[in-house]
């Protein structure tokens, strides 16, 4: 990634003598290995930060305008604090506005500001590029304003600011990963309690490949909204037998009996939620005992559940996972992201990578989409970089 400091100074014609400091922060992308389609606001995840980042630079303006520059896109946006609100046409700049709103609500002197954003996280494929912009902007602003806001409070306020700004409920998980991740670590994230458990990655002899299927994702929001509605109905029905219960209460032997009276489609969705929570807990035990064979089975079973019970996969994604599963040297492969296209991740030995790539020639011939591979490593979380 290019150095954002000189790009920012050139864009806003800041003095080269550095009399006007530029504060810079970066935040990583994120991958969920398990758990992302779970009980809303109460899920369990196996996640990690990846070594793709968003960087945000901020400096002072002499007027009250707020300017935004996306260096990778060559796009510019502007607003003022008085007019700070969500605008559909502002796209990426809306995520920086979330961080500005956060500090304005805390009473910090937010007036004229220059922002530059750039990064190498693939966009709109489920790798948390939007929350990375928010976190990087918040970290840069915290440094710029010399704000005494602990990271835990910053996380909580980011969630609240995002909800106010976009007008819909969001979960804390992506922010938790961004603030807590460390190099070569996996995280068990409990969304309900906001607790984290960290494990050293057991994949030192493997590569992590993210495969963008390039499948057009049409009508995804409506489909996902229907899944969430099904989950809520399922929980409402089973809660009549056990007041105040969550799906986590049913991750036990009484699962089938408890789900027996649900309408079939709702039962399948609910069954996925319960079993996926169980898989995350089983994966935690596998990590503790370094049982890679067990972890491999859990990953493949998770994809089967996403395909057959939650039904958010598609033929192209299923083909990619199936072909990966057939290759000697592949530990696991699974859909990641919202589904209906998007990405798979594959944990694979280096000796098997060439065979894996050969299979992709068949994918393009059969489905007509040219897939893109990103090799990633598990990375550290967000940080403030030296001022430019």
Domain that holds residue 144: 4-200
Among the listed residues 72, 120, 174, 328, the single catalytic one is: 174
Backbone angles phi, psi at 13, to 5 degrees: 55, 50
Q: Which pLDDT score, from 0 to 100, does residue 253 have?
A: 47
- CATH (domain of 27): 3.30.230.10
pTM metric for this prediction: 0.94
Q: Which pLDDT score, from 0 to 100, does residue 220 have?
A: 84
- The position carrying tokens 């290995």 is 33
Q: Return the biggest CA–CA distance within the chain.
A: 72
Q: Give, for all 388 residues of the chain, the pLDDT tens digit.
A: 779 999 999 999 987 666 789 999 999 999 999 999 988 888 999 999 999 999 999 999 999 999 999 999 999 999 999 999 999 999 999 999 999 999 999 999 898 999 999 999 998 888 999 999 999 999 999 999 999 999 999 999 999 999 998 988 889 999 999 999 999 999 999 999 999 999 999 999 999 999 999 998 777 888 998 999 998 888 887 777 666 567 777 655 455 566 667 788 888 998 899 899 999 999 999 999 999 999 999 999 999 999 999 999 999 999 999 999 999 999 999 999 989 999 999 999 999 999 999 988 899 999 999 999 999 999 999 999 998 7
Q: With contact defined as beta carbons under 8 Å apart, do 34 and 335 qualify?
A: no
User: pLDDT tens digits for 112-150?
Assistant: 999 999 999 998 888 999 999 999 999 999 999 999 999
Residue 112 in domain: yes
Residue 309 in domain: no
User: pLDDT tens digits for 215-265?
Assistant: 987 778 889 989 999 988 888 877 776 665 677 776 554 555 666 677 888
- Work out whether strand 185-190 and strand 44-60 pair parallel, antiparallel, or are unpaired: antiparallel
Q: Which pLDDT score, from 0 to 100, does residue 248 have?
A: 75
Q: From CA 271, how far away is CA 348, in angstroms rounded?
A: 29
Domain count for the chain: 1
Q: From CA 58, how far away is CA 235, in angstroms rounded?
A: 45
Residue 207 in domain: no
Residue 349 in domain: no
Q: From CA 357, how far away is CA 344, in angstroms rounded?
A: 14
- Work out whether strand 113-119 and strand 330-336 pair parallel, antiparallel, or are unpaired: unpaired
Residue 300 in domain: no
Residue 245 in domain: no
Q: Which pLDDT score, from 0 to 100, does residue 190 have?
A: 95
Residue 47 in domain: yes
The two three-digit tokens of residue 289, written as one number: 């005992």
| Three-class secondary structure assignment of the chain | CCCHHHHHHHHHCCCCCCCCCCEEEEEEEEEEEECCCCCCCCCEEEEEEEEEEEEEEEEECCCCEEEEEECCCCEEEEEECCCCCCCHHHCCHHHHHHHHHHHHHCCCCCCCEEEEEEECCCCCCCCCHHHHHHHHHHHHHHHHHCCCCCHHHHHHHHHHHHHHHHCCCCCCHHHHHHHHCCCCEEEEEECCCCEEEEEECCCCCEEEEEEECCCCCCCHHHHHHHHHHHHHHHHHHHHCCCCCCCHHHHCCCCHHHHHCCCCHHHHHHHHHHHHHHHHHHHHHHHHHCCCHHHHHHHHHHHHHHHHHCCCCCCHHHHHHHHHHHCCCCEEEEEEECCCCCCEEEEEEEHHHHHHHHHHHHHHHHHHCCCCEEEEECECCCCEEECCC
Q: Which pLDDT score, from 0 to 100, does residue 242 have?
A: 61
Residue 172 in domain: yes
Q: With contact defined as beta carbons under 8 Å apart, do 23 and 211 qualify?
A: no
Q: Establish whether 328 is a catalytic residue.
A: no
């Amino acid at each position: 990634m290019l150095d954002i400091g000189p790009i920012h100074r050139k864009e806003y014609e800041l003095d080269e003598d550095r009399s006007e400091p530029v504060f810079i922060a970066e935040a990583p992308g994120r991958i969920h290995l398990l758990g992302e389609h779970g009980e809303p606001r109460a899920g369990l995840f196996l996640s990690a930060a990846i070594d793709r980042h968003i960087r945000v630079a901020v400096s002072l303006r002499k007027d009250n305008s707020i300017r935004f520059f996306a260096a990778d896109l060559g796009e510019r946006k502007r607003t003022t604090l008085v007019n700070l609100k969500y605008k559909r046409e502002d796209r990426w700049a809306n995520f920086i506005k979330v961080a500005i709103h956060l500090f304005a609500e805390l009473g910090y002197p937010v007036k004229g500001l220059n922002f530059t954003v750039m990064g190498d996280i693939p966009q709109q494929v489920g790798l948390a590029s939007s929350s990375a912009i928010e976190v990087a902007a918040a970290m840069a602003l915290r440094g710029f304003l010399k704000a005494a806001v602990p990271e835990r409070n910053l996380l909580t306020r980011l969630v609240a600011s995002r909800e106010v700004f976009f007008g819909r409920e969001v979960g804390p998980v992506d922010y938790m990963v961004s603030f807590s991740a460390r190099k070569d670590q996996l995280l068990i994230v409990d969304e309900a309690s906001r607790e984290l458990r960290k494990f050293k990655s057991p994949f030192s002899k493997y590569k992590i490949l993210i495969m963008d299927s390039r499948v057009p994702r049409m009508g995804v929001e409506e489909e996902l909204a229907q899944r969430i509605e099904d989950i809520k109905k399922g929980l409402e029905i089973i809660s009549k037998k056990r007041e105040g219960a969550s799906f986590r209460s049913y991750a036990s032997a009484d699962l089938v009996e408890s789900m027996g009276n649900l309408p079939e489609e709702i039962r399948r969705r609910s069954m996925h939620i319960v079993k996926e929570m169980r898989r995350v807990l089983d994966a935690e035990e596998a990590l503790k005992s370094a049982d890679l064979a067990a972890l491999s089975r859990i990953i493949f079973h998770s994809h089967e559940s996403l395909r057959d019970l939650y039904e958010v996969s598609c033929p192209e994604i299923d083909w990619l996972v199936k072909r990966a599963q057939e290759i000697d040297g592949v530990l696991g492969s699974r859909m990641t992201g919202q589904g209906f296209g998007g990405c798979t991740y594959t944990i694979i030995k280096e000796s098997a990578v060439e065979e894996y790539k050969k299979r992709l020639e068949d994918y393009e011939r059969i489905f007509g989409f040219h897939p893109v591979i990103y090799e990633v490593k598990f990375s550290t979380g967000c940080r403030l970089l030296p001022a430019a």
